[in-house]
Amino acid sequence: MIQTPIDPTNVKKVLSFLAESRRILFITGAGVSADSGLPTYRGISGLYSNKSTEDGISIEQALSGEMFQRNPVLTWKYLAQIVQACRNATFNRIHQIIAQIEQYFEQVWILTQNIDGFHRAAGSTRVIDIHGDIHTFFCPHCDYRAQVNDLSHIQELPPKCPQCNKIIRPNVVLFGEMLPADKAYILHRELRTGFDLIFTIGTSSIFPYIAAPIIEASKNGNRTVEINPEWTEVSAYVTVKFNNPAAGVLETIWSEYLKQSVP
């Protein structure tokens, strides 16, 4: 497949944005983890596009909070696909660059839909993982909580609680569940403070809370950048649009920024 060349004019625009920015927000989605070979919810959903799972239901039904309450074994059957993908996967160059950018600006925040934990693993410190983290587990029936950094240690699926022997679950937002109130509060707090520049990378922005920061920034005349080969829900609103995969664009922008920053 022939890839669209990275527009040098757009690169220069973003460099000028960075030069005038103190607070930056990165909004990231499945496209950021694609280079790690990791399917997120939407990635797994894509495996079942326009068809049911082998259990005769949609992937959204299988991975729903309601289904977990009724039939946790069935939900874990499909959660296991995510766990399996995470076993040998790690962060990629996109995560590394975003973590490096944090060292050069007053504040860099990340709003991610991904549940892989790769932004933190790469070194980013201000991460709002709005859909949770597959590496944290809890028991809905007692106070058991656990951090499982190495998912290869999970030998039994569905995993059982060591305290009450009931099925535990990852601390992620299943379909139909509410967003975590604490993370939604942090997001709204930081959006109220404001950002000089917002990047949206590798997400179709179909969720209103993912699209809203871009749309609001556009209304207020603030600078926004989208990196996505596809046309998305926010493409019409952004200041600069790159129709390219994220890794190459970020590598180009960041290398040029560092060249200009060297005395």
Instruction: Return the active site residues.
Output: 131
**18 conformational bin, left if phi > 0, alpha if psi -120 to 50, beta if neither:** alpha
> Of 174, 187, 189, which is closest to residue 115 (Cα–Cα)?
174
DSSP class per residue in 191-207: HHH--SEEEEES----S
Cα dist from 257 to 36, 68, 198, 223, 263, whole Å: 25, 47, 17, 17, 12
Residue type at 33 in one-letter notation: S
> Of 117, 149, 138, 131, which is closest to residue 38 (Cα–Cα)?
117
* Token couple for 46: 């894509």
- List all residues 6 or more positions away from 5 whose beta carbon is below 8 Å from its beta carbon: none
d(CA 208, CA 251): 29
C-alpha of 230 from chain center: 17
CB 31 within 8 A of CB 94: no
